[in-house]
Amino acid sequence: MSDAPESTVLSRVQGSLGHITLNRPRAINALDLGMIRSIADTLDRWQTDTDVDVVVLDGAGDRGFCAGGDVRGLAEQISSGDPGATATFFRAEYALNARIAEYSTPIVALADGITMGGGIGLAGHAAIRVVTERSKLAMPETRIGFTPDVGGTWLLARSPGRLGEFFGLTGSTMDASDAIYTGFADYFVPSEHLDAVREALETRADPTSPTEIVLLFDETPPPSRLVAARAWIDDAFAADTVAGIVERLRARPEAEASATADLLEELSPTGLAVTLAAVRRARELPDLRAALAQEYGLVLWFAHTQPDLIEGIRAQLIDKDRSPKWRPASIADLAPDVAETALAYAPSAPLW
């Protein structure tokens, strides 16, 4: 077994199975730079190991796979005027996201429990993505005055209808059924069977594929609530602007539509406008790497120029007063070219 510093990532080979476990259960396995580098180093090592022909990626503890990245650390870097550290973190994280998506050995991600932000960047791009009855998936970045990243816009852009805009702007949580419906996951396996899945992947008889193994435990989840909600979501979130989306939501008879309008009016107007544009542009991009490159520019634009990111982290995660003071404060006060400006931002160092 080889461990990252302080064993925040555990890696071991069992038979022909490579097993990587995020091991910060008290923090719901939130990612820091050391963990990202450890996972990347392990994948690099196993890529040339002919004994490893399938990889399982999971998280320690009962609360979740991965709650995301270390946004408190991000706030400290920005506040202390250390943009280099911010760029270093995101470059390493995005390179890992692309590595997982392109890895020649099948990766089975067990997104059990909370899987958000950076956790989506790990699990969402794996070859085989498993959710359970405990899974809670989200890209909640607009809640802190930010925008979805780690390839999240690529996944959101490929969700049915306007669900990408809905989940991107609201940061709402998906259960297992929703995750499969939107394309964020592939299979539903009850959590009580996950140990059996791991064991079967380790002891499988060739040439049984990892997909065939997971299918042995796959069950049909309950219908997604999104099927019934598509009518008002697709109608409202097809509007050209955030203001137009809110206006359409207010005109809908559904209580959920009105509640969604209330939520959007509480979030960072800048984060909403940029996210809407980013998801829609991601639909036109050729691949995940292009989406990650777009996100990299947006992340640095937020980190270097926008006060809402620091304010959102403060209000939600540090002081926890849940009363952020956004700038601008309302959707009506948004500069009409804010999204265009953000998308045109050119980082001093390219991602690739």
Q: Quick one: pLDDT band at residue 295, thresholds 50, 70, 90?
A: very high
183 carries an active-site annotation:
no
Q: Is residue 155 part of a domain?
A: no
Q: Is residue 150 part of a domain?
A: no
Residues 246 and 111 in one domain: no
Residues 127 and 191 in one domain: yes
Residues 195 and 240 in one domain: no
Domain that holds residue 323: 226-343
Q: Is residue 21 part of a domain?
A: yes
Strand pairing category for 2-3 and 9-14: antiparallel
pLDDT at residue 207, rounded to an integer: 61
Domain boundary among 184, 217, 250: 217
Residues 54 and 187 in one domain: yes
Name the catalytic one among 32, 93, 149, 308.
149
Number of helices followed by number of strands (H, E) in the chain: 16, 10
Q: Quick one: pLDDT band at residue 73, thresholds 50, 70, 90?
A: confident
Q: Chain-wide mean pLDDT for the chain? A: 95
pLDDT at residue 136, rounded to an integer: 98
Question: In sequence order, which ranges of the chain are alpha helices (DSSP H)?
Answer: 33-47, 71-79, 83-102, 118-123, 152-157, 163-170, 176-182, 194-203, 210-217, 226-236, 242-251, 255-264, 269-282, 288-305, 307-313, 338-343
pLDDT at residue 349, rounded to an integer: 77
Q: In the structure encoding, which two tokens stand for residue 216, read together?
A: 């042995």
Residues 227-280 have pLDDT tens digits of 999 999 999 999 999 999 999 999 999 999 999 999 999 999 999 999 999 999
Spacing of C-alpha 288 from chain mean position: 13
Residues 82-135 have pLDDT tens digits of 878 889 999 999 999 999 999 999 999 999 999 999 999 999 999 999 999 999
Residues 323 and 260 in one domain: yes
For residue 12, the surrounding DSSP H or E stretch is strand 9-14
Residues 238 and 203 in one domain: no
Q: Is residue 154 part of a domain?
A: no
Secondary-structure breakdown of the chain: helix, strand, coil percentages, each rounded to the nearest 5: 55, 10, 35
Contact, 138 vs 174, CB < 8 A?
yes
Residues 44 and 96 in one domain: yes
pLDDT at residue 1, rounded to an integer: 46
pLDDT at residue 6, rounded to an integer: 61
Residues 138-172 have pLDDT tens digits of 999 999 999 999 999 999 999 999 999 999 999 99
Name the catalytic one among 18, 113, 117, 118.
118
Contacts of 228 (CB under 8 A, 6+ apart): none
Residues 190 and 131 in one domain: yes
Q: Cα torsion for 231, 233, 239, 244, to the nearest 10°? A: 120
CATH number at residue 73: 3.90.226.10
The residue type found at 30 is A
Residue count of the chain: 352
- Name the residue with tokens 């989406």: 291
pLDDT at residue 4, rounded to an integer: 44
Tell me the chain's radius of gyration from C-alpha atoms: 20
Q: Is residue 199 part of a domain?
A: yes
Name the catalytic one among 69, 145, 151, 171.
69
Residues 211 and 242 in one domain: no
Number of structural domains (the chain) is: 2
Give the three-class secondary structure for 83: helix
Domain boundary among 158, 193, 217: 217
Q: Is residue 348 part of a domain?
A: no
Distance, in Å, from the CA atom of 57 to the CA atom of 41, rounded to the nearest integer, reads 14
Residues 265 and 335 in one domain: yes
Q: Is residue 190 part of a domain?
A: yes
- Name the residue with tokens 């609201």: 170
Residues 280 and 206 in one domain: no
Average confidence (pLDDT) over 31-41: 97
Residues 183 and 301 in one domain: no
Q: DSSP character for 331?
A: G
pLDDT above 60 (res 3): no
Distance, in Å, from the CA atom of 11 to the CA atom of 111, rounded to the nearest integer, reads 17
Q: Is residue 64 part of a domain?
A: yes
141 carries an active-site annotation:
yes
pLDDT above 70 (res 71): yes
Residues 187-234 have pLDDT tens digits of 999 999 999 999 999 998 766 899 999 999 999 999 999 999 999 999
Domain boundary among 217, 246, 279: 217
pLDDT at residue 350, rounded to an integer: 79
- Residues of the chain with pLDDT > 70: what percent? 97
